[in-house]
Structure 1
Amino acid sequence: MGAICRLSNSLTGITMRQEMPGYMKRAVVFDFGGVIAEEGFREGLKAIARANGLDEVVFFEGARDLIYQTGYVTGTSDEETYWQAVRLRFGLDESDENLREQILKRFVVRPEMLSFASDLQKRGHTTGLLTDQTDWLYQLDREDGAGILMHFQFVFNSYDLHMSKRDKGLFRYVEQTLKTAPEDILFVDDNPDNIQMAAQRGWKAVLFWDYKTLKEEVVGFTTND
């Protein structure tokens, strides 16, 4: 590994690392729902369950499984197919538009997380978004006045890649695309199963709890050479 020149920023505690020959920058990769934004999918499904007199846990787990089983989350089917499967299983009669709205309006973006991602990038680190999302992600990005995806150098969306975080191959693909070794990738997610998958690949995986705790983890990772 080549030499590394450090420029310390005393205000944030994050070290800016300038790339030298043979050096590969470290990367910080974020989940979307539950990290960059509130977990709109889970909370939206629970709201739909309450409105229809259904058990929240049973409905959430069933509707979550269907988004994988129908192929919507990996872009091999469309939203209409997904909601039709949900309606058939649970006896709903609401339109696709109404069901979608219950979910999208609950993906409330956390501005401090977007600022944090942009700040990391300015200091020379690679940033990415790794999410099991559908085309809803792009609707959210269009409707957000300040923009969401512009804060990340790389966006890995299961809908486009036809792979989800349940697939080990997705993590290998991210490594290859970032041209970064597993141990130089820090991954932030709110789902313990995804954290386990990343850790098995050798990534530093952090279960998201809150912004303050995450910042401490990232600062330690980006300054530890």
Structure 2
Amino acid sequence: MVQKIVQNATGGPCQGLDAVIFDFGGVLAEEGFFEGFKAIAARHGMDAGGLAETAVDVIRRGGYVEGRATETQFWEELRARTGLGESDEALRRELLSRFVPRGFMFTRVDKLRAAGYKVAILSDQTNWLDELDAAHGVFAHFDLVLNSYRLGKTKKDPTLFDDILAALGVAPDRALFIDDFEGHIRRARERGLHTIHYTGRQDFETRLRKFCPGLEA
């Protein structure tokens, strides 16, 4: 059960908002999943896009991203479908090593939190997110972390946005959601949240300034 957060921002650099919700891979950190599979594909002479597409299919259909399957089962199924011969440890290292936290994003997170805004992570990740937290101290920057692996629900289910709003105790039109996947952005917008589709640092900072003109760079 997630404890509700009751603090509220009054005034501050982001008028009209009470909470900012961040995706992890591709927003708070470099996108390690797809970059990792790109490196694995190159090493095996495989098509990078095809390998990543297969991996996404396995991780979703097999239920690993929702905590319904183990990491071992994920890698075994992926090997069966692709012929990859490396160990679990070698393969996972290629992915996890590429989820490098973006310092400038955590600077924004810390400034928002210091100004009284609720900050949260909403991620379609596996148990890897816990390992990345142990390595980089990610969770300590946030009021709330919701991860599909622990929830049994992904951002493909629009009600997940209702869940995080309820946990944060904020109305949809008082929350800003940032993600690098257009489908998640569309579903969040349909639930009434403000959104920023992350496509790169410069564009993100330009868009964030429109919501938070008083937030120092």
* 4+ long deviations beyond 2 Å: 4-7, 209-224
What does residue 186 of structure 1 align with?
Answer: 176
Once residues 209 and 190 of structure 1 are traced to their aligned partners in structure 2, the CA distance between those partners, rounded to angstroms, is 6
What does residue 196 of structure 1 align with?
Answer: 186
What does residue 166 of structure 1 align with?
Answer: 156
Once residues 108 and 37 of structure 2 are traced to their aligned partners in structure 1, the CA distance between those partners, rounded to angstroms, is 29
TM-score (norm 1): 0.86
What does residue 126 of structure 1 align with?
Answer: 118
What does residue 68 of structure 1 align with?
Answer: 60
Alignment partner of 1:73: what SS? Answer: helix
Q: Taking every aligned residue pair, what percent have the same amino acid on both sides?
A: 39
How large is the Cα RMSD of the aligned pairs?
1.9
* Number of equivalenced pairs: 206
Out of 1, 11, 21, the residue aligned to residue 6 of structure 1 is: 11
TM-score (norm 2): 0.89
Matched, 1:94 2:99: no
Once residues 109 and 147 of structure 2 are traced to their aligned partners in structure 1, the CA distance between those partners, rounded to angstroms, is 17
Q: Which runs of 5+ in 2 are unaligned?
A: 1-8
Answer yes or no: is the 8 Å Cα contact 2:10–2:116 preserved in 1: no
Q: Which runs of 5+ in 1 are unaligned?
A: 8-13, 18-23
What does residue 22 of structure 2 align with?
Answer: 30
Cα offset for 1:218? 3.0
Answer yes or no: is the 8 Å Cα contact 2:66–2:154 preserved in 1: yes
What does residue 49 of structure 1 align with?
Answer: 41
Answer yes or no: is the 8 Å Cα contact 1:186–1:206 preserved in 2: yes
Out of 192, 201, 214, the residue aligned to residue 211 of structure 1 is: 201
Deviations, residues 23-74 of structure 1 (Å, cap 9, x unaligned): x961110110011000000100111111111111111111011111111111
Structure with larger Rg: 1
Answer yes or no: is the 8 Å Cα contact 1:25–1:126 preserved in 2: no
Cα offset for 1:212? 3.9
What does residue 70 of structure 2 align with?
Answer: 78
What does residue 21 of structure 1 align with?
Answer: none
